[in-house]
Structure 1
Amino acid sequence: MIFRSFVKRGIIMVAITYDTEVTSSISAPKLFKAFVLDSDNLVPKILPAAVKSVEYVEGDGGVGSVKVITFGEGTSQLKHMKHRVDGLDKENFTYSYSVIEGDALMDELESITYHIKIVPSADGGSICKNRSIYHTKGDAKIDEEKIKAGKDKALNIFKAIEAYLHANPDAYN
């Protein structure tokens, strides 16, 4: 975990950064297609109780697009979040986006930025590297347990996609 302070419009803000890595036996191209490029369709299909719908309100999925994710009722305290695509490089398996609105910001955050890179591993699988940057409102304190719970939910979605790909080996070739 890395803490950084910076000034925005005369207000001191704190950015808290977390780096995580998850190994997978799924190849980088296949994992990127499922986890990044088609997650809007795949996740509601395989985890309908967790994610009810994903709807683009601006753009078509490319850089600058904005989508609203509506979470399933009863499975999460979160109702929705809006996120903006900040970067997408299909050749290098990188994806960046920012949560810009919704319950995930917990009234303590301006935004959360995620940088995902999926790299091939020597065994034919891959490593998913993620940097999460939490931008606080002013000097707001972030509840570490809430962040951990969110990271656990994201890992569960990742593992569900991985399990789907194992069960459907011809998908996303």
Structure 2
Amino acid sequence: MRGYLSHDTVVEVPAAVIWDVYRSLELGRLLNELLQDVIGKIEVVQGDGGVGTILNVTFPPGTPGPSYMKEMITKIDDEMRVKEAEVIEGGDKDLGFVLYRRRLQIIEKDAESCISRSSVEYEIDDKLEDIASQASTKPLEILAEVVGKYLKEKRSSSN
């Protein structure tokens, strides 16, 4: 069984500004600073933030399911402003997903705002169909809202 979920979040920050953060290790640093209690702690296992980088995410205490996941960045497209990562260990893999790919895309709306498109693509054995309902874009939506708000405030305070 295959599935796909997508959600758009309007962010009041220029596309280039938010992409500079999303495409780099700065995103993990910001998540550790702003969302550690919601998403967890992110550590670089190997790599420099580019394709092939492996990240370890330790979920906050009390989070149902697996306590961690490792994901590998599989795509960074600066022209289309797309970043993809696949879970390679723990997390959604431990729940039974054969493939669990997160995708962030930044779409320019106008000079001062953009759309952060969060999507999840997954594959799961047909016998585990009930687990497919656990696939969610919610963590990516929260990421877009919080990072967008942080960058907007940072821009406002520096003007």
TM-score interval, smaller chain: 0.7 to 0.9
Matches within 5 A, 1:128-167: 128-137=116-125, 139-143=127-131, 145-147=133-135, 150-167=136-153
1:71, 1:121 → 2: CA distance? 33
Match of 2:12 among 8, 13, 25: 25
Question: Is the Cα–Cα contact under 8 Å of residues 23 and 127 in structure 1 kept in the other structure?
Answer: yes
Give, in angstroms, the shift of residue 25 of structure 1: 1.4
Deviating above 6 A after TM superposition, structure 1's stretches of 4 or more consecutive aligned residues are none
Partner of 1:84: 72
Gaps of 5+ in 1: 1-13
Write the deviation string for residues 132-165 of structure 1: whole angstroms up to 9, x where unpaired. Answer: 2111135421445523xx4223322221112211
Task: Between the two structures, name the one with larger relative contact order (CA 8 Å, sep ≥ 6).
Answer: 2
Q: Which moved more, 1:62-71 or 1:100-109?
A: 100-109
Matches within 5 A, 1:23-172: 23-37=10-24, 38-74=26-62, 76-77=63-64, 78-122=66-110, 124-137=112-125, 139-143=127-131, 145-147=133-135, 150-169=136-155
Question: Is the Cα–Cα contact under 8 Å of residues 100 and 110 in structure 1 kept in the other structure?
Answer: no
1:125, 1:143 → 2: CA distance? 36
Structure-1-length-normalised TM-score: 0.76
- Greater Cα radius of gyration, structure 1 or 2: 1
Question: Is the Cα–Cα contact under 8 Å of residues 52 and 72 in structure 1 kept in the other structure?
Answer: yes
Give, in angstroms, the shift of residue 121 of structure 1: 0.6
Question: Is the Cα–Cα contact under 8 Å of residues 120 and 127 in structure 1 kept in the other structure?
Answer: yes
More helix by share: 2
Question: Is the Cα–Cα contact under 8 Å of residues 70 and 91 in structure 2 kept in the other structure?
Answer: no
Q: Cα RMSD over matched residues?
A: 2.3
Question: Is the Cα–Cα contact under 8 Å of residues 20 and 130 in structure 1 kept in the other structure?
Answer: yes
Identical residues among aligned pairs (%): 17
